[in-house]
Amino acid sequence: MTENERPVYAVVGSGYMGGGIAQSLALSGADVRIADVDIEVARGNRDRLIAEAAQFTADGLFPADASAVIAERITAMTIEDAVAGASFIEEAVPEKIEIKHATLRRISAAAAPDAIIGSNTSTILIGRLAEAVTNPGRFLGVHFSNPAPFIPGVELIPHAGTDEAVLPVVEAIVAATGKETARVKDATGFVLNRLQYALFHEATQLVEEGVATPEDIDTIVRTTFGFRLPFFGPFAIADMAGLDVYAFCYASLQTEFPERFATPPILDQLVSAGKLGTKSGAGFLDVPVERTPELIAYRNKAYVAMKKLIDELGPAPIHPAQD
Ligand SMILES: NC(=O)c1ccc[n+]([C@@H]2O[C@H](COP(=O)([O-])OP(=O)(O)OC[C@H]3O[C@@H](n4cnc5c(N)ncnc54)[C@H](O)[C@@H]3O)[C@@H](O)[C@H]2O)c1
């Protein structure tokens, strides 16, 4: 492919997340212009991304030619030069609304009117950020996770005024990086952080109540229900467990925590309608009952493969090494 055929993207804020996003986009086949507070900082970040890519290749994490590809495709520029002529621009400046607003104003002023603008914000409502974007129909949240080169999921968050036609274009851009997208409404915490913090909230309560130590809670999460999560989300897991079983468990949890563990109305409705999950052929996900044996076989294979992978990798170096 010649240089002229490559799409041109820009990443504004080339720090930790922006740098990883730029690497992912460059490796997907795009020319990526990175910008930062000034061009010297952007140049330094480009050097860092090239050197880091070489290390990732040495560690077997990036393709053999990644460093050369990134050196060829990533260019350091001013914000104005970077965004002019880019068809997709990702903002990844610090999580402060005044910095994001000022940056989005600069991007809007210099970008083509139809260039799509994404923000990597973790917590700020997209509708609030959109106030600083000219032609805000082309603006949405494109939320990569840390570490961006290696985490495969990206939340796409249109605000109320985002043009529907923008979504498939961004989905294709992210798909080219080998990552997977999911669409999420513009609600505080989006999906990822709302779920992650709900789990963390309950985990810290367990520590405060003296039920278990942080170490033991982490062990339980990693080795039990967390072990399922790379393959199945909470709805697939509930369907496989049986929604009637979930209803019984809620009733039991309510003896101690009636409000915190009130049975979700949506669960009650499904159970009342006889939709008990995989075993009844319908639940949250409507998996046909005849696919159950295939699903169980996949599940078992997945868990054995996961255990093997963890055994091969060894434990995370969180605790001091044992002699
Ligand atoms: N770090 C994470 O785990 C993580 C995960 C998901 C999303 N995010 C989000 O990504 C965004 C960036 O976070 P980060 O961790 O990469 O921060 P970071 O501090 O590593 O990078 C921010 C970059 O923006 C640059 N910058 C600051 N002001 C600027 C300006 N006015 N114009 C241009 N560039 C400017 C900084 O010099 C820096 O290089 C934030 O919105 C954050 O919430 C972070």
Ligand 1 atom showing the smallest separation from residue 17 Cα: 16
CA of 10 to the centre of ligand 1 (A): 14
Nearest CA to 188 among 96, 139, 129, 123?
123
- 177 CB within 6 A, ligand 1: no
Ligand 1, from 11, 23, 36: best to mutate by most atoms within 8 Å of Cβ? 36
Q: Could you give the CA distance from residue 53 to residue 71 in angstroms, rounded to a whole number?
A: 9
What tens-digit pLDDT sequence spans the chain (323 residues)? 445 589 999 999 999 999 999 999 999 999 999 999 999 999 999 999 999 999 999 999 999 999 999 999 999 999 999 999 999 999 999 999 999 999 999 999 999 999 999 999 999 999 999 999 999 999 999 999 999 999 999 999 999 999 999 999 999 999 999 999 999 999 999 999 999 999 999 999 999 999 999 999 999 999 999 999 999 999 999 999 999 999 999 999 999 999 999 999 999 999 999 999 999 989 999 888 888 899 999 999 999 999 999 999 999 998 766 55
CA of 15 to the centre of ligand 1 (A): 6
CA of 304 to the centre of ligand 1 (A): 38
**What pLDDT score was predicted for residue 320?**
67
Tell me the C-alpha to C-alpha distance, in Å, between residue 229 and each of 22, 237, 293, 302.
Answer: 28, 9, 20, 11
Nearest CA to 33 among 89, 67, 87, 75?
75
- 99 CB within 6 A, ligand 1: yes
Ligand 1, from 12, 14, 16, 196: best to mutate by most atoms within 8 Å of Cβ? 16
- 16 CB within 6 A, ligand 1: yes
114: left (phi over 0), alpha (psi -120 to 50) or beta: alpha
Q: Could you give the CA distance from residue 66 to residue 54 in angstroms, rounded to a whole number?
A: 7
Residue 266 CA from chain centroid, whole number: 26
Give SS3 for 181.
strand
CA of 162 to the centre of ligand 1 (A): 23
Q: Could you give the CA distance from residue 150 to residue 203 in angstroms, rounded to a whole number?
A: 26
Strand order in the sheet with 8-12: 74-76, 31-35, 8-12, 88-91, 116-119, 139-144, 153-158, 180-183
Ligand 1 atom showing the smallest separation from residue 19 Cα: 16
- 93 CB within 6 A, ligand 1: yes
**What pLDDT score was predicted for residue 90?**
99
- 119 CB within 6 A, ligand 1: no
- 117 CB within 6 A, ligand 1: no
Residue closest via CA to ligand 1's atom 29 equals: 37
pTM score, whole prediction: 0.95
Ligand 1, from 17, 40, 150, 151: best to mutate by most atoms within 8 Å of Cβ? 17
**What pLDDT score was predicted for residue 1?**
47
**What pLDDT score was predicted for residue 286?**
84
Q: What is the DSSP string of 177-209?
A: TT-EEEE--S-TTTTHHHHHHHHHHHHHHHHHT
CA angle 105, 108, 109 (to 5 degrees): 85
**What pLDDT score was predicted for residue 5?**
87
Tokens of 306: 């996961």
**What pLDDT score was predicted for residue 239?**
96
Q: How many CB atoms lie within 10 A of CB 281?
A: 15
CA of 129 to the centre of ligand 1 (A): 15
Tokens of 96: 């402060």
Residue carrying the six token digits 């229900």: 225
- 19 CB within 6 A, ligand 1: no
